[in-house]
Amino acid sequence: MFKQFIDKVSGADFYLITSLWIFIAFFLLVGLFLLKMKNEYVSTMKNMPLSD
C-alpha cells in the first residue's frame, strides 16, 4: 500500500518527511514540557483524584 502511494503520488516523499518531522517535534515538545514541569504541579495532579 505504501509502495503504491510513493509510486503514484508525485511529491510523496515530501509528505513522508514532513510527517516524520511533525512527529519528532511533537514528542520533543512534550518531553521538554515534562522536564520543565514543577514538582508542586505534579504532586497536585497526582493527588487530585484522591482529594475528591
| Structural domain containing residue 35 | 13-52
Task: Identify whether 7 is part of a domain.
Answer: no
Task: Identify whether 1 is part of a domain.
Answer: no
- The structural domain count of the chain equals 1
Task: Identify whether 51 is part of a domain.
Answer: yes
pLDDT for res 12:
74
pLDDT for res 51:
64
pLDDT for res 48:
84
pLDDT for res 2:
65
Selection from 44, 40, 24 nearest residue 32 by Cα:
24
CA distance 45 to 40: 9
Task: Identify whether 20 is part of a domain.
Answer: yes
Task: Identify whether 8 is part of a domain.
Answer: no
pLDDT tens column, 4-52: 767 777 777 788 899 999 999 999 999 999 999 999 988 888 888 776 5
Task: Identify whether 4 is part of a domain.
Answer: no
Query: Is the Cβ–Cβ distance between 37 and 31 less than 8 Å?
Result: no
